[in-house]
Amino acid sequence: MPDQVIDRVIRVISQTQKIPLETVKPESTFADLKIDSLDAINILFALENEFNINIPDDAGQELKTVNDLAAGVGKLLEGGGATQPA
């Protein structure tokens, strides 16, 4: 997974959660960052906008770390999960 994807995912998490960028690490768990299920939904929406992708509704249930989230975004980007411009 390119570093650019993980960096963008970290930036989105930092911005949506209003937490310092340097506290969000690839190995950070959502529990470490005090991200609850509602926060996670907001992060997924922000990632859809950031990367112009559609994240399946059930995708967030299996994600536990920032790395997991970045890997999922990377798979969607590689697999053609990006939406087409209107």
* pLDDT score of 81: 53
Residue 32 CB neighbours (<10 A): 13
Per-residue pLDDT of the chain (86 residues), as tens digits, is: 568 999 999 999 999 999 999 999 999 999 999 999 899 999 999 999 999 999 988 877 778 899 999 999 999 999 865 554 43
Whole-model pTM?
Answer: 0.86
Taken in order of first residue, the domains within the chain and their CATH numbers are: 3-78 (1.10.1200.10)
